[in-house]
Amino acid sequence: MTQTASKSTTGGVQSVERAFELLEVIARAGGEAALSELAADTPLPLPTIHRLLRTLVGVGYVRQLPNRRYSLGPRLIRLGEVANRQLGALASPALKELVAKLGESANIAVLDGDMVTYIAQVQSAHSMRMITEVGRRAMLHNSGVGKAVLSVLDDERVQRLVSQAGMPPKTANTITTLGKLFTDVEATRERGYAVDEEEQELGVRCIAVPVPGAPTPMAISVSGPVTRVDDEFTKKAVPVLQEAARELGRQLVAAAD
């Protein structure tokens, strides 16, 4: 009797793990994937994938599109919103410390499909400061946090996400070709931080770093007017940002254990 229950529990846990694995694959693909992609990216047999997808579609966590591809479902939206709020609350002390040390507005953003979403901000005390609405989405190719997130992804995924979202210009400084973006992302990888050089808004510069060990790609940043966020500020800000990112990464790993 006990042995049967144990087997049932193990099978149930395995099914849950496999279902989450499929959701992760769909998320990594940018929010939707074909059955062939799911089969290629997991070791699961096709009948198992079919069975799990039927279950996930039935409960609203996955939906099947008219073109037969599978996308993340609407029931995940509320889970994501709550998780982002929790993550924002966890990151808030680190952002407050950044503002105290550097004097400019601090943000945290996470990869959300083929864009990034800001989940927390602590504003600078300056009268002229950067204000970013929590929940606002930004493009990957023209934001500091977006380019910091791209720097931790492989080149194939970078190309897929950016091609999917497009590269519309926001200012005359916006990078609008994949070649130039890959050059910028490689520079970000080498130096350990990304820079938004007035690419979203003229007169505003942003310095951002990825959060190591995060369960989903994310980045923290400080931003302000170019008159204050200059080369001297950047030299001071980068090590402070990197230490804050490492500490936040450690907290996220500890929270997941």
Distances from the Cα of 7 to the Cαs of 1, 19, 20, 49, in angstroms? 10, 18, 20, 21
- What one-letter code names the amino acid at 98? L
Least confident of 13-27, 156-170, 240-254: 13-27
Q: pLDDT band at 12, cuts 50/70/90?
A: low
Q: Look at residue 164 and tell me whether its pLDDT is greater than 80.
A: yes
How would you label 117-155 residue by residue, b for 16+ Cβ within 10 Å and e otherwise?
Answer: bbbbbbebeeeebbebeeeeebbbbbbbbbbbbbbbbee
Q: What is the mean pLDDT of residues 3-16?
A: 53
